Amino acid sequence: MDAYAAVLTTDDELLDRLLTTLAAVGLEPRVLSDPGAVRAVWREATAVVIGGDKAERLAALGLPRRADVFVAGEDRDSDELCRWSVPLGAAVAALPSADSWFAAALADATGRRTGAGRLLAVVGAVGGVGSSTCAAALAVTAAADGLRTVLIDGDLRGGGLDLLLGAEQLDGWRWPQLAHATGHVGDLSGQLPYVDGIDLLTGVRGGQPTAPIEIGAEQLATVLRSTTRSHDLTIVDLPRWLSPDVLEAARRAELTLLVVRADLRGLAAAREVAAWLPSAGTQVLLRGRRVAGMSPDLVEESLGLPVVACLADEGSARLSAERGEPPGRLRRSHLGRACRQILGQLPVRQLPVRQGRS
């Protein structure tokens, strides 16, 4: 089937601008005026572009989550467009200021249809719940299963995923080299530190002091577009504060894993975070000392999200961490089994084998 974009708007001026952009990237438009007609093309369209004039009516349909959805309008309507971003699972294209980004995103969508990797986002509901350990363990498990895996540290104020994997001394690009990335970047394989079958993107460690690096939503989206084209599985470890880059990654992810501490305070904190995450693609990993005493049914009822796995604290995991062993390497451990259970929720299609690395 030829690539095409479903365009939903009755705003003639906006439609003219959208058609010009689509022509520039070689994407055939299929213009629709009735939100109900979008349902028939929702899954098959290469991209879906929703005019701000139709956003509310389309959101009311409750269509399932998908990638490459955009809500578009004029710059002066930016606040209104942003209001529909989460309900629609859509990136905001306020025009003309976002013209170049929008064109790049549409061009990227045409390339992703032939072999898109999956994106899994991990976010902790509270500090210290072990979300970074879970993200690293998921990457170790996926790589051991033969998937081309990249692990991205989106929480540069945390302890660092490179430490968890013993990669802090390895050569390769870190976030400072990509802090100004926009539009398109090529395949990052071969540029990033590589350990145990995992490409790794983290912050800087050691050396001379540098100014703090803040990852912007556009920079993170640029990197994620690259890695989901080149890798079978991208795992991004996100901070629990809900900045635009966190919401952008959660919006793009096929699965967002919310790591919840198994006690009442952890559950209360999770409710605050879950309210901002897209419910269609978010599942819960329940972990902690008291996990056996907290019913998954209670958690699901409280959060309105399914519990994908329960993970009790285990002494062997702490001992392994103290010895510098990557988490998740012991496949029969509670953590290893939980990772396989989580990855089972995210069917991954392996991309063609890349030359140069096995």
DSSP 183-218: S-----TTTS-EETTEEEE----SSS--PPP---HH
Same fold yes or no, 4-112 and 118-343: yes
How much of the chain, in percent, has pLDDT values that exceed 70?
A: 86
Sheet containing strand 47-51, edge to edge, reads 28-32, 4-8, 47-51, 69-74, 91-95
- For the chain, domain boundaries: 4-112, 118-343
Q: In terms of DSSP bridges, do strands 194-195 and 198-201 run parallel, antiparallel, or are they unpaired?
A: antiparallel
Domain 4-112 has CATH 3.40.50.2300: yes
Average pLDDT, the chain: 85
pLDDT tens digits for range 151-179: 999 888 776 899 899 898 899 999 988 87
Listing DSSP states for 59-93 in one string gives HTT-PPP-SSEEEEEEGGGHHHHHHTHHHHT-EEE
Q: Please write the tens of the pLDDT for every residue from 284-335.
A: 999 977 666 788 899 999 999 999 999 887 666 566 655 667 887 777 788 9
Is the pLDDT at 352 greater than 60? The verdict is no
The angle at the Cα of 216, spanning 214 to 219, to the nearest 5 degrees, equals 115
pLDDT at 226: 82
pLDDT, tens digit, 9 for 90 and up, residues 73-125: 999 999 999 999 889 988 889 999 888 778 877 877 775 433 358 899 999 99
pLDDT of 358 above 50:
no
The model scores a pTM over 0.85 = no
For the record, the structure tokens of 132 come out as: 């970074």
Q: What superfamily in CATH does domain 118-343 come from?
A: P-loop containing nucleotide triphosphate hydrolases (3.40.50.300)
| Two structure tokens written together for 65 | 């989550």
Is-contact 248 236, C-beta < 8 A?
no
